[in-house]
Structure 1
Amino acid sequence: MRLLLVEDDEDIAETLVAFLERDGFVVDVADSLAMAQDALESGGFDLVLLDRVLPDGDGVSLITAAKTANRPQRFLLLTALSEIDDRVDALELGADDYVSKPFEPRELLARIRNALRRPLNSQRESRRFGPLVLDVEACSFTVDGKPLMLRRTEALVLEALMARPGQLVLRETLETRVYGYDKFVNANSLESQISRLRRNLTEHTPQVKISAVRGMGYQLILE
């Protein structure tokens, strides 16, 4: 099995390489996002061990880049960022697992083996509308390759709009998608979700807009 270790701390990298090679793994090392990106474009890695805090950015950008390029890859994060939000964000973006530093080597080895058991899908369904991309399996979004972090209800609205980009999606369809069939929906609930979603989109791109069709519904448009 061939691993890519993305780690800028030379001492940690040397220790991990020695440990993993003793267990039979072939390990390549990259000490920056740029070097890791070049290595991943050549392919051939069964798993990427990925530090988050790197000299040229956040390691999770490699996960987003792999998804945008439809290049399936397993990622296991190794990082000192141990807050629950950091872990949740990384897992929602597509990391297979997350190990906080400092870690017990035997636990790391068990997590590596567990991640390697998971099938690596050759194709992930995605939908694109201008700079906006939806990963259908994960129900996650990127804009120009950068994560668009949304609340669950906002993501459900945008997912429904992305199912028919540029076309009218009826208000009733959106309410059912977000709130279900059997729940009472306040008249302003959907408008509140749309308003927050518009603000989020505006912060990330001027191109994608949500247009209202009075009395009927909403549609995504490009400007």
Structure 2
Amino acid sequence: MRLLLVEDNVDVAETLVGYLQRQGFVVDVAATLAIARHAMRDGSFDLILLDRMLPDGDGVSLMGFAEQIGRPQRFIVLTAMAGIDDRIAGLEGGATDYVVKPFEPRELLARIRTALRHPLDAPAQVRVFGPLRHDVDHGQFFIDDQPLVLRRGEALVLEALMARPGMLVQREALELRVYGYDKSVNTNSLESQISRLRGHLARLTDQVRIQSIRGLGYRLSDR
């Protein structure tokens, strides 16, 4: 399960990420609304943990943004805003749950698991490029209906490329997608992911390849 934590307090974010990773979750962190919107456009999350008091505005606005871009989403608000009007604004805005800081991590974990049982009212998302198919909802890839088994980093690269088939995806965007918003990246790390992914594709098809655009990024090509 993949979560997005929208939180600008570094200590809170680090503590929560460490705890949730130990529980088996993959967690990305966004410290601002702008970064969170970028992540929501380009990524797929099972649930978003959302602070309200962010440097560039109220986190509640992300719920409307999810509707605007047609990406239904589960939200749990994590905030120090404890007033009844604050709670009502969060829940009526679309939050699945509203948790007031400080909170017990085990209780948050229980609330996350409960929220994940709530179905999202969204049609199945399937992206196709030649013989390559991406089942977005289940995070699975197929070539001519044969499963393409990838490591997490490779899958995130291909997911980003499939979101813009045939179009340039900038290197920086791919690094953010694979390594998150708060990690330094070795210059050779992305190339290693791309190289392994090219090998997987070449073994199953000659109709799809990953083209390097020198100094800019990569794109999926059918030539």
Which TM-score tier does this pair reach, normalised by the shorter chain? Answer: 0.5 to 0.7
1:4 aligns to what SS in structure 2? strand
Contact kept in structure 1, 2:6 and 2:36, CA below 8 Å: yes
Whether 1:109 and 2:109 are equivalent positions in the alignment is yes
Instruction: Give the AA of the match of 1:114.
Output: T
| 1:34-73 residue CA offsets vs partner (Å, 9 max, x unmatched) | 0000000013100000000000000000001111222101
Q: Which has the larger radius of gyration?
A: 1
Distance in 2 between residues matched to 1:16 and 1:46, nearest whole Å: 16
CA distance in 2, matches of 1:82, 1:91: 12
Give the counterpart letter for 1:36 in structure 2: A
RMSD between aligned alpha carbons? 0.8
User: 4+ residue runs of structure 1 moved beyond 6 angstroms?
Assistant: none
- Cα deviations across residues 58-97 of structure 1 (Å, max 9, x unaligned)? 0000001111222101100000000010001110111110
What SS does the aligned partner of 1:39 have? helix
**Secondary structure at the counterpart of residue 113 of structure 2:** helix
1:3 aligns with 2:3: yes
- Counterpart of 1:67, as a letter, is E
- Partner Cα distance (1:70, 1:95) in 2: 16
SS of the aligned residue for 2:119 comes to: coil
1:26 aligns with 2:26: yes
2:13 maps to amino acid: A
Identity of aligned residues (%): 67
Count residues in correspondence: 123
1:118 CA drift (Å): 0.2
CA distance in structure 2 between the aligned counterparts of 1:71 and 1:111, rounded to whole angstroms: 22
Code of the aligned partner of 1:121: D
* Structure 1 residue identity aligned to 2:78: L
TM-score, scaled relative to structure 1: 0.54
